[in-house]
Chains A and B, each alone.
Chain A
Amino acid sequence: MTAATSPDLPAPLAALVAEFTALDRAERFELLIEFADRFRPAPAEITGYPYAEEHRVTHCESDAYVWAEGCPGSALKFHFIVENPQGLSARAWAAILDETLSGQPIEQIAAVPPDIVFAFFGREVAMGRGQGLMGMLALVQRLARNHRKGA
């Protein structure tokens, strides 16, 4: 099952995948830059400082962090920090994950396949960057599963 054909994606994510699939490479980059421009870093009351290690994305060269905000039993809002000022892809991906996964059913969030990254960034994404982007999704999913266990 590839990401683009999965029937179980959260609805906003499925809609955005469909939108990206219709774009050529240059248009995809333009839209990703728009997402990066919309990115807002997590507020200090969510993150605290220094950031706890369990919120750090492994293998992300842009030094990204993820937090999940929500009461037990409720939907989650995801927040991100991207420390690298040149981490444009990481900021775009953070904005996409927030806009398409925040508020969605946790079972669906946990089931998003890692190769969804390629639907947005293309299959030519280089290894280091691809690994970091997949790591951001994996941490979102881990936080979501932990929240469900704790609920």
Chain B
Amino acid sequence: MTSPSAPTIAGRGYARPEVLVDTAWVAQHLNDATVRIVESNEDPLLYPSGHIPGAVQVDWTTDLNDQVRRDYIDRSAFERLMSRAGISNGTTVVFYGDKSNWWATYAFWIFQLFGHTRAKVMDGGRLKWEKEGRELTREVPSYPASSYTAPERDDTAIRIFKDAVLRHQQARLPLIDVRSPQEYSGERTHMPEYPQEGVLRGGHIPGARSVPWARAANPEDGTFKTAEQLRDLYEREQGLKPSDDIVAYCRIGERSSHTWFVLTYLLGYPRVRNYDGSWTEWGNSVNVPIEK
């Protein structure tokens, strides 16, 4: 449980506190036509088992990923997704999800590739909403199709591809590996007979610092740590600076979206990119440097 003295979002010292809302705010905006609540989870069973009333689901496997290439959806598919969810260009989208919002920040990051800046995250996600005993429903809402115009996806500002990561690594610029210590060390690569995320080599990109993503959240209620606690983690422990050009990666880019979100919005770092190719690309690539 959150202790009574836990600071409010406004009192935690974040660079851009307006990007977070608390559960009470969401409860007060369930019928606000300018707001759409979007649930995005790793576990696809959670939304159909019960969700915040009025919330729509964005499913990372079927909605956000291109079904043929390894890439995200393009502009027209994003426009269709927005229209289906009844989201227009002026709608404020509030994301929430399981596991301290790890997949919620992934969806948030992809929405930013299309420039939907009216976007927020519900601090604490599903866990906090449930722990507070707030209402959940199995009723799937239906909204009138909206009209949505998206720009072409911008892969330059917050996304980075392998060749650029190689140059980044060779220039000894900061990389953050947000996977578990066992994945970082190469002791654990993938599960037996696992078809989708197998890798041929274990380890990490040389020079990458290990900061498991979940250290940025409070495990008891999924809320984000205060700015001061986050500075302890990234600046005092790891020596990062706000002026650094930083690349974060994990296995497929979802956990590193969480770290991207924390550094960009909560600490206000201007240059953080997510390498979504991550270890499933790097660990299968020929002739790239690996450290164990």
Contact = CB atoms under 8 A, between A and B. Distances in A.
Interface of A: 25-26, 29-30, 32-33, 36, 59, 85-86, 88-89, 92, 113-115, 118, 123-131, 134
Q: From DSSP, what is the main secondary structure of chain A's interface residues?
A: helix
Given A86-B127, A127-B197, A131-B194, 8 more contacts: A25-B62, A29-B48, A59-B191, A86-B98, A86-B126, A88-B43, A127-B191, A131-B191
A33 B130 contact: no
Contacts of A124: 61, 196
Contacts of B144: none
A25 B46 CA distance: 14
B48 A33 contact: yes
A104 to B, nearest CB: 22
B190 interface: yes
Interface of B: 42-46, 48-49, 61-62, 98-99, 126-127, 130, 190-197, 251
Contacts of B195: 115, 118, 123
B46 A86 contact: yes
A114 B192 contact: yes
B196 A115 contact: no
Contact of A126 (B42, B46, B62, B126): B42
Contacts of B62: 25
B48 A134 contact: no
A131 to B, nearest CB: 4
A86 B190 CA distance: 23
A128 B251 CA distance: 11
B254 to A, nearest CB: 8
Contacts of A86: 43, 46, 98-99, 126-127, 130
Given A29-B44, A126-B42, A36 B191 contact: no
Nearest to A34: B49
B45 A127 contact: no
B136 to A, nearest CB: 12
Contacts of A113: 193
A105 B61 CA distance: 37
A134 B45 contact: no
B48 A89 contact: no
For B42, B49, B61, B126, which residue has the most chain A Cβ atoms within 10 angstroms? B49
Nearest to B183: A127
A130 B191 contact: yes
